[in-house]
Amino acid sequence: MSSPPACPVPLAPEVIQLAHGGGGRATWRLLHEVVRPALGITGVSADAAELAVPPGARLAFTTDASVVRPIVFPGGDIGRLAVFGTVNDLATAGARPIALSLSLVLEEGLPIDVLRRVLGSIAAASRIAGVRVVTGDTKVVDRGRGDGIYTSVAGIGVIAPGVDVGPHQIRAGDVVIVSGDVGRHGVAILSVREGLGFEATIESDCAPVTGLLDALVDAGTELHCLRDPTRGGLSAALHELAIDAGVEIALSEPDVPVDGRVAAACELLGLDPFAMACEGRLVVIVPPDHAARALAALRSRPEGAHAAAIARVAAGTAGRVVATTVLGTRRLLDFAASEQLPRIC
């Protein structure tokens, strides 16, 4: 496709303008000179992508919007978060991603350099996750109506053969494992949003968990359920699973890995690290005779080096999570009515 004829009026300003969402020359140039090259999208423009799917494959489909504030934070930005949030949702269905779509909502006045950075992060994160953005959409909203940039990423994945995971598979006696320390993403966002200036920088754990899924499947682990503890953190994830499966989960607080900096920050601010969001962690529920195998598989990957068995499923009060504290006492883990920190993903 040839380019529109040259025009003496600048058509690629340093900031997003409403004209970029109008469907004309400015839109064409934004897409073909900024968005598509950054994402490595080539060929003729189309409104949909054709996908080749293996015969008989079971597909998983998900979508994830990102409205994080600020859009750049220690350990990542909204672009990295958008991709990993989607591929991690696919992983919790036992699926490897095969294609992503990307929708951008840009606010008038957003610097083009910021957009380029976010697109670069999306491209880099996609390469790490082994998937490509194949289609998408871009819209522009009035100044003051969009907080810079919002993203929405949908993903399609192929479920690994023999994998059938979900709360319906959870049984009494199952072991609950977490792939690493919890609460880092929420504290990382809080530290920059509120300008807290902790002595040691706390970086988000924003990362894909697809490699962890591969390790578990390759090890022949019998998987009952997978979950990524994002909004609401580990606490919300465990409560949701306990409710959906109609079981009680007995958590051992001393066994839950928490980074010392995160623990100190939460203690200072009166927050619960178990309720702080993660963006690169996997909760794995397996039968007891597969717990050692699952832990070995997770620990074989750098991102799973600190995996730990933290809880067991019990046939107690449905929907309840009971925690044993470092003092040996027992308490009901709170299922918060609202989020400790909004706009974290």
Average pLDDT over residues 178-199: 88
> 327: pLDDT confidence band, cut at 50, 70 and 90?
very high
Token readout for 66 is 């990102």
Domains, the chain, ranges and CATH? 18-43+57-159 (3.30.1330.10), 167-332 (3.90.650.10)
Let me know: does 216 contact 224? Beta carbons within 8 Å. no
In angstroms, the CA 332 to CA 337 distance is 14
Q: What is the pTM of this model?
A: 0.92
**How far, in Å, are 17, 66, 135, 156, 243 from residue 49 at the CA level?**
28, 22, 6, 12, 38
According to DSSP, residue 182 is labeled: -
pLDDT value of residue 9: 47
| 3-state SS class at 125 | helix
pLDDT value of residue 45: 73
Least confidently predicted of 3-7, 101-105, 249-253, 288-292: 3-7
In angstroms, the CA 284 to CA 179 distance is 8
Which H/E stretch holds residue 134?
strand 133-141
In angstroms, the CA 215 to CA 304 distance is 10
In angstroms, the CA 152 to CA 263 distance is 32
Let me know: does 15 contact 106? Beta carbons within 8 Å. no
| 3-state SS class at 187 | helix
pLDDT value of residue 1: 46
Average pLDDT over residues 48-60: 91
| Helix (H), strand (E) counts: the chain | 9, 13
Least confidently predicted of 43-57, 202-216, 318-332: 43-57
**Would you give the distance in Å from CA 108 to the centre of its chain?**
27
Average pLDDT over residues 103-117: 97
Give bridge partners of residue 250 from the DSSP assignment.
312, 322
DSSP secondary structure string, 250-303? EEEGGGS---HHHHHHHHHHT--GGGS--SS--EEEE-GGGHHHHHHHHHTSGG
| Mean pLDDT over the full length of the chain | 92
pLDDT digits (tens, 9 = 90+) for 87-103: 999 999 999 999 999 99
In angstroms, the CA 115 to CA 121 distance is 10
Least confidently predicted of 72-81, 134-143, 155-164, 262-271: 262-271
In angstroms, the CA 249 to CA 175 distance is 9
**How far, in Å, are 71, 103, 104, 161 from residue 144 at the CA level?**
15, 19, 16, 47
> 8: pLDDT confidence band, cut at 50, 70 and 90?
very low
Average pLDDT over residues 94-117: 97
β 283-286/175-178 pair status: antiparallel
pLDDT digits (tens, 9 = 90+) for 248-261: 999 999 999 999 99
pLDDT value of residue 281: 98
pLDDT value of residue 334: 86
Token readout for 320 is 């309840």
In angstroms, the CA 65 to CA 83 distance is 10
Average pLDDT over residues 75-84: 97
